[in-house]
């Protein structure tokens, strides 16, 4: 990068990150679809919002945020805010264990839909357990 000014050097370093395979696959491609914009538009937006340090850390934060999002989504789709929170007929620990197990299965390749289907049957079992007490 000899002969380049600092702005140009910075841009090259930013581009190296953002054009990487993992970034494109996990962030740029899905997000530009959701935002109905081109990959270029989204990359420019990310260059403008984030400094180099944040860009470097971003992929890691994305993965952990995905887990948190998935946890919240399962909580909603399994109606656990109702069964655990409002009705208190499912033990919070049982609910947590179930969600963690499903997240692990999704990360191992199971589709969200299949995990949800399985999770719903397990919620039914947890409710039936309640009758025995």
Residues that bind a copy of itself (CB under 8 A): 31, 34-37, 45, 48-50, 54, 58, 61-62, 64-66, 68-70, 72-73, 75-77, 79, 81-82, 85-87, 89, 120-121, 123-124, 127-128, 130-131
Residue spans of alpha helices (H) in the chain: 6-18, 21-23, 29-34, 39-49, 52-77, 80, 92-107, 112-132
50 or 110: CB nearest a copy of itself: 50
DSSP code of residue 90: S
13 or 62: CB nearest a copy of itself: 62
**Residue 2 CB, nearest approach to a copy of itself (Å):** 31
79/92 Cα distance (integer angstroms): 13
**Residue 114 CB, nearest approach to a copy of itself (Å):** 14
Cβ partners under 8 Å of residue 90, min gap 6: 80, 83, 84, 123, 126, 127, 130
**Residue 21 CB, nearest approach to a copy of itself (Å):** 20
**Residue 86 CB, nearest approach to a copy of itself (Å):** 5
Could you tell me the two tokens for 97? 């264990």
16 or 129: CB nearest a copy of itself: 129
Nearest-Å Rg of the Cα atoms of the chain is 21
């Amino acid at each position: 990068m000899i002969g380049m000014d600092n702005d140009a050097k910075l841009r090259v370093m930013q581009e190296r990150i953002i054009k990487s395979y993992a970034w494109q696959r996990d962030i740029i491609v899905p997000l530009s679809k959701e935002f109905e914009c081109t990959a270029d538009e989204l990359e420019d937006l990310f260059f403008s919002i984030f400094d180099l340090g944040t860009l470097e850390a971003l992929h890691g934060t994305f993965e952990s945020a995905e887990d948190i999002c998935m946890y919240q989504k399962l909580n909603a789709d399994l109606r656990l805010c109702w069964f655990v929170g409002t009705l208190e007929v499912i033990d919070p620990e049982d609910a947590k264990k179930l969600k963690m197990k499903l997240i692990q299965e999704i990360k191992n390749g199971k589709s969200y839909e299949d995990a949800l289907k399985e999770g719903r049957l397990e919620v039914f079992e947890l409710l039936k357990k309640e009758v025995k007490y």
